[in-house]
């Protein structure tokens, strides 16, 4: 059987699809899960540490090396499986969304029991839940207030920090901590199921949002949900960003389908997980207003959106007894300095140069100045996207807004980049280098995550860690360059079909959401 372009449609066979994509991806995540025994995060008080196998894989140099090899091999195989699947889809092979859901479920399944990887934030969630359950305000107190917080696996960096999360997620944290007050590891697994629910929302709504933009749902699902970084950070890492993004994508989709009030409520719930999701609300307001709306109509829907959202947040805050305290805790993540943030990196580099030249150590001041300049630029970009929406879908504008806020923000974590990815995938990639940038970026951040995934090392500069980085880079480079199809996807030209509307009906749908304003001038996105 072939596609319309004469390309063998091997993936239409269920058995071939399972053997080519489902099984290799599940084996990959199975290896990652086994590796997590040695290099994943476990609470100090966990009974798992008393098991001889776990102890050997975490303390014996040979055991740690085996764990790292399994983790890196699993990450490399997962990336290769994803690239091969993308090569098929972008070459014109039609794969039903339902089969891609099967692949996603199979890939995620082994990770459900993995020790938390790439971050131990999930243990902070658990400890914050205990804080709320004890009736202590998490917006003015850190988890160090809770007895035994260190044994629960919390990173000491966040011991005194107030929570930056919204009231909806505090309800979830409190429920988990109340159900399993003495079991932080089981609590982390339950919180991972919450993250899985977020990914399931993404898997359901991204194809629907892509359809509205004339984009093939399978391609959008491949890029925006099956992406290895989603599995690494949203599933293995159990980040609450997964639930935030899932609710946000669901709300935007409903608004784009003509149901703006449920859309506003879902996006507000996403903001109740992490307040950054509220950035999507102005663009939901534009969807509500309509692509040919007047300025009066736009301001009216923005006002209605704000009223619904504020009332919802106030009600949630009252239900859990924290009010709007999350507003003053929004700066908590900014206390971290990372070279991944351009503004922070420039500030630190400039300060280091000045110090070396004998000018003095003004690093703190320079980091603050460059961060403020970058944040001002990000605000300007968001305002421009809101007040100059013509020529773009509001969903595309939302994707660009999140991208700008992340890249210009004071802190960048690998999972922050995933805030915009499902929206980008659903609205398509019109230039060849866009797809290459995302695939190369995915490979690079897979290397970064694998190289830093040791819970046993004390210093990143240790020989063992350096070897792990080289091994990870070599494995990923081999995967990326393994065959002509992968090389073409990552380094060559975009496949002819790409992630754009494929036919006249799809192109017509893609124009329906493009903002043209009340004068009905048909503009297209540059």
Per-residue model confidence as pLDDT tens digits over 303-317:
999 999 999 998 888
User: Residue written as tokens 């509307």?
Assistant: 501
Averaged pLDDT, 16-20: 87
Query: What would the mean pLDDT of 196-218 be, rounded to a whole number?
Result: 94
Range of the domain at 25: 10-120+186-331+380-512
> Where does residue 160 rank: exposed (0-12), middle (13-18), buried (19+ CB within 10 A)?
exposed
Distance set, CA 159 to CA 122, 150, 255, 324 (Å): 13, 8, 39, 22
Cα torsion for 297, 302, 306, 309, to the nearest 10°? 100
Who contacts 410 (Cβ-Cβ below 8 Å, separation ≥6)?
A: 333, 334, 341, 343, 344, 371, 374, 375
Residue 82: name the closest of 229, 199, 280, 180 by CA.
229
In a domain, 136, yes or no: no
325 found inside a domain? yes
497 has pLDDT over 80: no
- Total tally of structural domains belonging to the chain: 1
Between CA 144 and CA 128 the distance in angstroms is 10
Average model confidence (pLDDT) across the chain: 83
Range in 101-105, 205-209, 365-369, 403-407 with the lowest mean pLDDT: 365-369
Give the residue from 79, 441, 23 showing the smallest Cα distance to 228. Answer: 79
Domain assignment of residue 88, yes or no = yes
* pLDDT of 374 above 80: yes
Question: Would you say residue 480 has pLDDT above 90?
Answer: no
Mean pLDDT of 417-445: 85
Residue 344 lies in a domain: no
pLDDT at 441 over 90: no
Which of 336, 524, 425 is CA-nearest to residue 97?
A: 425
**Of 182-191, 323-332, 341-350, 377-386, which gets the smallest average pLDDT?**
323-332
Residue 268 in this model has a pLDDT that exceeds 70: yes
Q: What is the pLDDT of residue 26?
A: 95
Would the pTM of this model clear 0.85, i.e. be above it?
yes
Answer whether residue 354 is part of any domain: no
Tell me, yes or no, whether 175 lies in a domain: no
Whole-number pLDDT of residue 356: 74
- Domain assignment of residue 286, yes or no: yes
Residue 457 has a pLDDT of: 42
Q: Say what the pLDDT of residue 40 is.
A: 87
Residue 127 lies in a domain: no
Q: Minimum mean pLDDT among 182-196, 373-387, 448-462, 503-517: which range?
A: 448-462
């Amino acid at each position: 059987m072939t596609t319309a372009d004469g390309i063998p449609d091997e993936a239409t066979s269920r058995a071939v699809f399972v053997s080519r994509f489902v099984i290799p991806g599940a084996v990959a995540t199975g290896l990652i899960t086994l590796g997590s025994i040695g290099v994943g995060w476990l609470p100090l008080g966990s009974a798992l540490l008393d098991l001889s196998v776990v102890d050997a894989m975490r303390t014996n140099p040979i055991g740690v090396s085996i764990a790292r090899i399994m983790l890196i091999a699993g990450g490399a195989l997962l990336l290769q499986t994803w690239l091969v699947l993308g090569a098929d889809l972008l070459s014109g092979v039609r794969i039903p969304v339902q089969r891609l859901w099967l692949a996603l479920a199979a890939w995620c399944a082994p990770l459900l029991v993995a020790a938390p990887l790439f971050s131990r934030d999930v243990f902070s969630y658990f400890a914050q839940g205990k804080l709320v359950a004890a009736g202590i305000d998490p917006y003015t107190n850190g988890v160090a207030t809770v007895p035994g917080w260190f044994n629960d696996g919390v990173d000491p960096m966040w011991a005194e920090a107030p929570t930056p999360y919204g009231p909806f997620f505090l309800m979830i944290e409190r429920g988990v901590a109340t159900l399993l007050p003495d079991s932080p590891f089981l609590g982390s697994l339950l919180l991972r199921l919450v993250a899985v629910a977020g990914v399931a929302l993404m898997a359901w709504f991204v194809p629907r949002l892509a359809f509205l933009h004339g984009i093939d749902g399978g391609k959008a699902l491949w890029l925006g949900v099956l992406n290895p970084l989603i599995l690494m950070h949203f599933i293995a890492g159990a980040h609450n960003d997964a639930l935030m993004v899932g609710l946000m994508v669901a709300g935007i989709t409903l608004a784009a389908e003509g149901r703006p009030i449920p859309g506003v409520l879902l996006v507000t719930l996403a903001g109740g997980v992490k307040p950054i999701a509220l950035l999507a609300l102005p663009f939901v307001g534009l969807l509500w207003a309509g692509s040919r709306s007047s300025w009066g109509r736009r301001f009216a829907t923005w006002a209605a959106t704000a009223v619904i959202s504020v009332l919802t947040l106030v009600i949630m805050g009252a239900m859990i007894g924290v009010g709007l305290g999350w507003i003053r805790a929004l700066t908590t993540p900014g206390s971290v300095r990372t070279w991944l943030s351009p503004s922070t990196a420039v500030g630190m580099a400039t300060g280091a140069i000045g110090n070396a030249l004998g000018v003095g150590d003004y690093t703190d001041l320079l980091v603050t100045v460059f961060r403020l300049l970058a944040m001002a630029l990000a605000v300007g970009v968001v305002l421009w996207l809101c007040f100059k929406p013509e020529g773009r879908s509001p969903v595309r504008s939302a994707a660009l807004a999140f991208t700008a806020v992340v890249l210009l923000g004071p802190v960048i974590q690998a999972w922050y980049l995933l805030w915009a990815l499902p929206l980008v995938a659903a609205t398509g990639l019109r230039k060849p280098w866009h797809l290459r940038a995302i695939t190369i970026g995915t490979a690079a951040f897979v290397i970064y995550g694998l190289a830093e995934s040791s819970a046993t090392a004390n210093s990143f500069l240790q020989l063992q860690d350096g070897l792990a980085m080289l091994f990870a880079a070599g494995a990923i480079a081999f995967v990326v360059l393994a065959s002509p199809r992968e090389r073409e996807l990552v380094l060559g030209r975009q496949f002819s079909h790409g992630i754009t509307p494929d036919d006249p009906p799809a192109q017509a749908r893609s124009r329906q959401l493009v903002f043209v304003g009340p004068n009905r001038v048909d503009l297209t996105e540059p």
